[in-house]
């Protein structure tokens, strides 16, 4: 029988579940796939395994790297289990890309390549968040891609582990959207118009300066002639 408890973390309420073998679920309440990981019938009670999970979370959210791993019993396909085992190997405070995990799995299986997208699907289905650190997986370019608990929580978990937000990480490029009531195409057109105006102004300013130089030259020439020959009214 699966037992369920809740843990109030600094980032929000966390749902925890465990069976007789180990933790089966740790996820932020309301996270994507939250309900998918729980059986229809659960008992709301404390167990030794759940208590061990709470001790681990207490240490983690105090800014420490827990020196023990509570019993884990995630439920998934053979491929998902392989990916989740790889996640457990990511050191505290570090990140790896989906592609790196895919390459390691390919090497272990003796195959030429493994789909990073398939790895991403397994990472997204991780039922034991934080302890199985799926938040430490980022895009190939360092972008902060999807996290079932929300990108804001992924940022804060990385921030907690590294002390500050890693400078080599950034948000994924957003898809073109309407800005200020304009479509991306309209915005690009307005930007082009602005650039054209700046270029026209630059040309006009260059022409004005050139004309001013000619005028200054003529004035100096006239002044020199006046000094030499005198002013004639």
Report the share of the chain in percent with pLDDT over 70.
67
Same domain for 126 and 210, yes or no, is no
Same domain for 183 and 99, yes or no, is no
> What mean pLDDT do residues 126-140 have?
95
Same domain for 143 and 189, yes or no, is no
Q: 167 lies in a domain?
A: no
- Domain extent, residue 96, equals 2-162
Pick from 87-101, 119-133, 197-211: least confident: 197-211
Pick from 6-20, 167-181, 198-212: least confident: 167-181
Token pair 């167990």: residue: 47
Q: 101 lies in a domain?
A: yes
End-of-domain residue from the set 135, 162, 189: 162
Write out the chain in H/E/C secondary structure: CEEEEEEEECCEEEEEEECCCCEEEEEECCCCCCHHHCCCCEEECCCHHHHHHHHHHHHHHCCCCCCCCCCECCCCCHHHHHHHHHHCCCCCCCCEEHHHHHHHHHHHHCCCCCCHHHHHHHHHCCCECCCCCHHHEECCCCECCCCCCCHHHHHHHHHHHHCCCCCCCECCCCCCCCECCECHHHHHHHHHHHHHHHHHHHHHHHHHHHHHHHHHHHHHHHHHHHHHHCCCC
- 59 pLDDT higher than 60: yes
pLDDT value at position 218?
A: 56
Ranked by mean pLDDT, the top range of 30-34, 40-44, 104-108 is 104-108
Q: Which residue, among 122, 116, 163, has the nearest Cα to 139 in the 3D structure?
A: 116
Q: Looking at 101, 128, 134, 158, which residue is catalytic?
A: 134
Count how many domains the chain has.
Answer: 2
End-of-domain residue from the set 100, 133, 162: 162
Would you call 27 a catalytic residue per the annotation? no
Apex 104 CA angle, 142 and 146, nearest 5 = 35
Q: 79 lies in a domain?
A: yes
Q: 170 lies in a domain?
A: no
Q: How is residue 192 written in tokens?
A: 């082009």
Q: 90 lies in a domain?
A: yes
Give 185 or 83, the one with higher predicted confidence: 83
Same domain for 7 and 83, yes or no, is yes
pLDDT value at position 175?
A: 46
Same domain for 203 and 120, yes or no, is no
End-of-domain residue from the set 100, 134, 162: 162
Instruction: Round the average pLDDT of the chain to a whole number and report it.
Output: 80
Same domain for 200 and 106, yes or no, is no
- The most distant pair of C-alpha atoms in the chain lies apart, rounded to whole Å, by 115
- What pLDDT band is residue 5 in, cutting at 50, 70 and 90? very high
**Inter-CA distances, 167 with 38, 63, 160, 170, 171, Å:** 37, 20, 14, 8, 11
Same domain for 136 and 219, yes or no, is no
pLDDT value at position 176?
A: 42
Q: How is residue 171 written in tokens?
A: 């948000």
Same domain for 145 and 231, yes or no, is no
- 99 pLDDT higher than 90: yes
Q: 169 lies in a domain?
A: no
- What pLDDT band is residue 232 in, cutting at 50, 70 and 90? very low
Task: Check: CB of residue 106 under 8 Å from CB of residue 55.
Answer: no
- 50 pLDDT higher than 90: yes
pLDDT, tens digit, for every residue of 152-198?
999 999 999 987 654 455 555 544 444 344 455 554 555 555 455 44
Query: What CATH number did the domain enclosing 103 receive?
Result: 1.10.10.10
Phi then psi for 9, rounded to 5 degrees? -95, 165
pLDDT value at position 177?
A: 41
pLDDT, tens digit, for every residue of 110-125?
998 999 999 999 999 9
**Inter-CA distances, 103 with 65, 89, 96, Å:** 27, 14, 11
Same domain for 183 and 158, yes or no, is no
Same domain for 227 and 129, yes or no, is no
pLDDT value at position 138?
A: 94
pLDDT value at position 145?
A: 80
């Amino acid at each position: 029988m699966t037992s369920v408890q809740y843990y109030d973390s600094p980032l929000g309420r966390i749902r925890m579940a465990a069976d007789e073998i180990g933790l089966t679920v740790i996820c932020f309440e309301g996270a994507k796939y939250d309900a998918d990981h729980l059986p229809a019938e659960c008992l709301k009670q404390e167990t030794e395994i759940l208590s061990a999970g709470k001790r681990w979370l207490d240490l983690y959210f105090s800014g420490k790297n827990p020196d023990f791993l509570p019993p884990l019993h995630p439920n998934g396909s053979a491929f998902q289990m392989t990916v989740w085992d790889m996640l457990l190997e990511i050191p505290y405070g570090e990140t790896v890309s989906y592609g790196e995990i895919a390459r390691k799995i390919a090497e272990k299986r003796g195959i030429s390549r493994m789909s990073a997208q398939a790895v991403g699907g397994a990472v997204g289905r991780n039922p034991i968040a934080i302890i199985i650190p799926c938040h430490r997986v980022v895009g190939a370019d360092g972008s902060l891609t999807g996290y079932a608990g929300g990108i804001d929580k992924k940022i804060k978990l990385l921030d907690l582990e590294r002390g500050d937000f890693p400078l080599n990480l950034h948000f994924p490029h957003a898809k073109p959207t309407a800005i200020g009531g304009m479509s991306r195409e309209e915005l690009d057109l307005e930007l082009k118009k602005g650039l054209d105006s700046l270029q026209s102004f630059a040309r006009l300013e260059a022409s004005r300066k050139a004309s001013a130089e000619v005028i200054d030259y003529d004035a100096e020439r006239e002044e020199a002639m006046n000094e030499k020959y005198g002013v004639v009214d």
